[in-house]
Amino acid sequence: MDQRRAEPDRNSITNPVSLYGEFTVTGNRKVRYAVSLTERELIVQRLTSTPVGRNKVVLNLKDCVGCRSYREDDNADPAAYLTVYLYPLRRRWVSSGLSRYRAEHCFRLAELQDPRANLEEAEKWARAIRERSARQQYLRDGVLMSELSRPCRMMLLVNPQSGKGQALTLYNNHIQRMLNEAGIPHTLVITERQNHARELVREADLSQWDALVIMSGDGLLFEVINGLLERPDWEEAIRTPLGILPGGSGNALAASIHHYSGASPVSSEELLVSCGFLLCKGLVSRMDLVSIHLSSSPRLFSFLSLAWGFVADVDIESEKYRHVGAARFTVGTLVRLASLRVYKGKLAYLPATEDYNSKEGLRNNVTLHCNNQASSLGPASVLCRPSRDSPCENTFHNSCHSNNSLKVRRTESTPSRSATKSLPGPPDSLLLPLDQPLPSDWVVVQEEDFVLMLAMYQSHLAEDLMAAPGATAADGVIHLFYVKAGISRTALLKLFLAMEKGAHLATNCQHLVYTKVRALRLEPYSPKGIITVDGEVVEYGPVQAEVHRGLARLISG
């Protein structure tokens, strides 16, 4: 390889060349290429007499997941090889927007007669590419995210029965290769039964792992989170970075992570590739968890949603259509619309005020650690800053707030105290026991006839349902929606169609109410019904919830 540096170009001041060399490519050893490595790009230019612009390819290092150097088994060939793995964006053929695809670039180095010297030179390039790929500034929505330690040891849990039963096939076709390209050692664990993952992480020696990754629907992550919070060392355990790869039919958190990255909406295998790419980048942010109290069941922790009424019915009743994948929810919605129900109950909540949001933003300006291990490619911990999209508008009502809710009169009851002092996991400071009256600063909804109640803490309810478009992973609020009785089937269908793009709040539906809350309580009056937490059926009856801001760690980019 020619060790000369490239002549500085017009962009050299902001993006200087750090390495330059001449390579051939596999498959055509007669054509040579000039390759320049800058802080942000790998520039490949064919050495020819034709105009430069037609032969120049610029590879963005932000799209790079890994790079390796090696020699082939042929001892007679002294050459070394350099392969770069990227997942850049390109326009989709059928629909609008962009999606990621796999691109592999392999270069051959045979300038020197000594095979070892060629390999050393290739290794220098591979190391420099990996370092520059990792040395980007990762600032998203005002939050600078930390980085997983490298090499990162992952436990990858796969539910082979999730979705259409193809999770293991998807792992073999996509994820195994991506992790190998990124140089991420991982151990595959195939779950065998319900709560297998919960039991496993509850007893596992977590010091062996830098991250836990779930490839399934949202139900498996629900098991993992609750298993971690049932451990005696839950405070340390819940800091283990968690990753999600879509392998089920709902895939709501995977769709949310993809959305938070700023990418165009995608689904199915395109979503899997996108989430796999984000996983390989290994950036960690905070994620809210919500404490859920039921009448007689142990406390649960939720990362996605609490639902009652229409949404919960569709989620569970559509299980019979699981074989059609994500389309099961569309089918279930149409079936339930045909026999629309009204659900009676009492709903109350503690509003999230602007003052609370600003204080919580300052409180969360703390150091974020990843298993207390330093990254060899960047800082082990960084400051989390308040999001630009900090929730300022606390309530959105298509109808007047004063006509739909009522402040609870102040009583002689004591200030709110924890209802969970003896339970594992963090204490709840806002919730009284379910059999006690509500605190005085809660709002009680006057209506008692509902079509649905949905509490969200991520943006998506499914791959194609953006239920809370303003949500972020750690905004510290519960996004509460409820639809009052009296809505027509047509209007409700329009709401769900608009929800595909997150436009339902702009439909001017007089029966839809949306507000941001810190805690809520629901008391169903109907003797029978369905309540779901993260898509899982829980005990039917009174339920209350409180958000814990940034309690978990999420691999999200």
- Residues 80-122 pLDDT 10s: 999 999 999 999 887 788 999 999 999 999 888 899 999 999 9
pTM as predicted: 0.84
> CA-CA distances (angstroms) from residue 293 to 234, 421, 433, 522, 548?
18, 13, 9, 10, 14
Show the tokens assigned to 522.
């629901």
Q: How far apart are alpha carbons 311 and 336 in whole angstroms? A: 9
Q: Which of 260, 40, 256 has the alpha carbon at shortest distance from 140?
A: 260
> 399 versus 47: which is more confidently predicted?
47
**218 catalytic residue (yes or no):** yes
- Residues 140-190 pLDDT 10s: 555 556 778 777 899 999 999 887 788 999 999 999 999 999 999 999 999
> CA-CA distances (angstroms) from residue 64 to 129, 135, 322, 377?
9, 12, 35, 14
Over residues 362-372, the mean pLDDT reads 38
Query: Out of 141, 218, 428, 475, which one is annotated catalytic?
Result: 218
Assign 339 a pLDDT band (cuts: 50, 70, 90): confident
> Cβ(524)–Cβ(490) under 8 Å?
no
Over residues 322-340, the mean pLDDT reads 68
- Phi, psi torsion values for 123, nearest 5 degrees: -65, -35
How do strand 211-216 and strand 242-246 relate by DSSP bridges?
parallel
> 65 versus 380: which is more confidently predicted?
65
pLDDT of 354 reads 72
Least confident of 44-58, 88-102, 263-277, 323-337: 323-337
Assign 359 a pLDDT band (cuts: 50, 70, 90): low
Show the tokens assigned to 371.
């298993």
Residue 61 has pLDDT above 80, yes or no: yes
Residue 138 has pLDDT above 70, yes or no: no
The DSSP letter of residue 207 is G
